[in-house]
Amino acid sequence: MSEIEIFRKEVRVWLEENCPKSLRKRWDDPFSEFSVLRKLRTGDASLWLEAMIAKGWTTPTWPKEYGGGGLSRHQNAVLQSEMARIAAPQPVLGMGTSMIGPTLLDLGTEEQKKAHLPGIVKSETRWCQGYSEPNAGSDLANVQAKAVDKGDHFVINGSKTWTSGAQFATWMFCLVRTGKYEKKQQGISFLLFEMDQPGITIKPIRLISGNSPFCETFLDDAKALKENLVGKLDEGWTVGKRLLQHERSSIGSAPSSSGKEKSKVPAVVKFARKYHGEVDGRIDNPELRTDIIRHLMNTKAFKLTAKRAFDEAKAGASSGETTSMFKFYGSENTQERHELLVSIMGTNALAWEGEDFSETELSTLRTWLSGKATTIYGGSSEIQMNIISKRVLGLPE
C-alpha cells in the first residue's frame, strides 16, 4: 500500500470518528445555519471546528508553525475528497483562509504571519476587504481613501463599498492612498486594522436575494498601526494585486469539494430526473439532456485545466494572468449551473417563501439571484477579458 493510500485510510477513519453526523449534509448558502453555528461555536459545529483546528485542517496546506496542517498538495486532495465523500462541511471559510492569509504567507513579515495567521486558523478573527470605493470599482487604482502618517500609526479617512461581511468582521485589509505620483498605481499602501474602533461606520446593503452580505463602510479617523503595513509604503499595489490573484483563484475555482456535490450523480441530473422524469433510464427531455451534458463536460474540462495549472505553478511555470482566466470562466460556469437548475425546476424555482415548497426550492431562487454577482465582484468578467486580451494574447489597447 502506497503512502498516499495509507494517508487516505487514516483520514477516512479520523473523519468518521470526529465529524458529527448532524453536519453531514450539503450547505448551499454561505449565510446558512452552519455558518451561524460556526460563528457561535455551539453544539456539533463547535466540536467539529475544534477537532479540525487541533489537526490543523482548517488550513490544511499552511505551515504547521502558524497552526496549519502542513499537508502536501496530494494529501490535501485526499482530505478534500474524503470530506466530500461524507458531506463534511468546511469548518472555516472566508477571506481569512482564501485571501489575506495566503497573501501574508507570500508577502507578510514573520511578525505579521505570527500575529495574524493563528487567529485565522482558529476562526478567532474574521476579515473583510477594503478595496472598492464609490469611484474606484473596476478602476481600483483610483482609490481615494487617504491614510496620513502619525508616527506609530496611520489615520484613515474615506469610504469603501461592497465590503463583504463587514458587519461581522473583526479586521479589514485595505488599500489606501498614502502618496501622490504620476501613475495612480503608485502611492497606494496596503494596511490592516481592527474594525472595533471609533470612526468606523458600517451600513449593510440589502440585495435582491434578500441577503445583505455587502456593506458600505465609512472611515473617519480610523487607525492602523505601522506594524500592520504589508509591503512597503506607497507600494501596496503589488500586495493588492497578489491578493486579487488569490481571490480570483478562489472565486474561479471548480465547485467546492465539501458537501454532496461530488457524489456520483450531480445535482443538475438529480433535479432533471425529479422534475422531468426518466424514460429507459434517461432524462425525458432531449434538449435538457444536451444542455446538462454540455455543462458537465465544460465543468470537467475546467477542473482538469485548473489541476494542470496548479501542477505548472508548483513547477514554477505559472502566470499570474491564469487567475483571470479562472475567475472569468469559473464565475460564468457557476452562473450557467444556477441557470440550469432554475430552468430544470420551472415555476417551482420561483418559490420565495411558504410551506408549500421544499427547502431546496426555497433556496434555489435566492442562490440564483445571489449568483448574478459572481461575474462582478472580485473583478468583473469584462475586466478579466481585458487582462487576458492584453497580457495573455498581447492584443493592442
Q: Which of 247, 321, 353, 361 is catalytic?
A: 247
The 3 state secondary structure assigned to the chain is CCHHHHHHHHHHHHHHHHCCHHHCCCCCCCCCHHHHHHHHCCHHHHHHHHHHHHHCCCCCCCCHHHCCCCCCHHHHHHHHHHHHHCCCCCCCCCHHHHHHHHHHHHHCCHHHHHHHHHHHHCCCCCEEEECCECCECCCHHHCCCEEEECCCEEEEEEEECCCCCCCCCCEEEEEEECCCCCCCCCCEEEEEEECCCCCEEEEEECCCCCCCCEEEEEEEEEEEEHHHEECCCCEHHHHHHHHHHHHHHHHCCCCCCCCHHHCCCCHHHHHHHHHHCEECCEECCHHHHHHHHHHHHHHHHHHHHHHHHHHHHHCCCCCCCHHHHHHHHHHHHHHHHHHHHHHHHHHHHHCCCCCCCCHHHHHHHHHHHHHHHHHCCCCCHHHHHHHHHHHHCCCCC
Its pTM stands at: 0.76
If you average pLDDT over each of 5-14, 332-341, 377-386, which comes out highest? 5-14
Residue that the C-alpha cell 514573520 belongs to: 110
Residue 272 to residues 113, 200, 288, 342, 352: CA-CA distances in angstroms? 47, 48, 8, 11, 21
Q: What is the mean pLDDT of residues 129-134?
A: 94
Go through the domains of the chain in sequence order and give each one's CATH number: 3-93 (no CATH), 127-235 (2.40.110.10), 265-392 (1.20.140.10)
Q: What is the mean pLDDT of residues 126-154?
A: 92
Residue 41 is predicted with a pLDDT of: 67
More confident residue, 378 or 70: 70
Residue 178 has pLDDT above 50, yes or no: yes
50: annotated active-site residue:
no
Q: Which of 108-122, 251-265, 382-396 has the lowest mean pLDDT?
A: 251-265
Q: What is the mean pLDDT of residues 227-234?
A: 97
Residue 383 has pLDDT above 60, yes or no: yes
Residues 320-361: tens digit of each pLDDT: 677 788 888 888 998 999 999 999 988 888 888 888 888 888
Q: What is the mean pLDDT of residues 113-129?
A: 95
More confident residue, 331 or 71: 71
Residue that the C-alpha cell 494585486 belongs to: 241
Q: What is the mean pLDDT of residues 255-262?
A: 40
Residue 253 has pLDDT above 60, yes or no: no
Name the average pLDDT for the chain: 86
- The rounded percent of the chain whose pLDDT value lies above 90 is 51
Residue 42 is predicted with a pLDDT of: 73
Residue 255 is predicted with a pLDDT of: 43
Residue 313 is predicted with a pLDDT of: 64
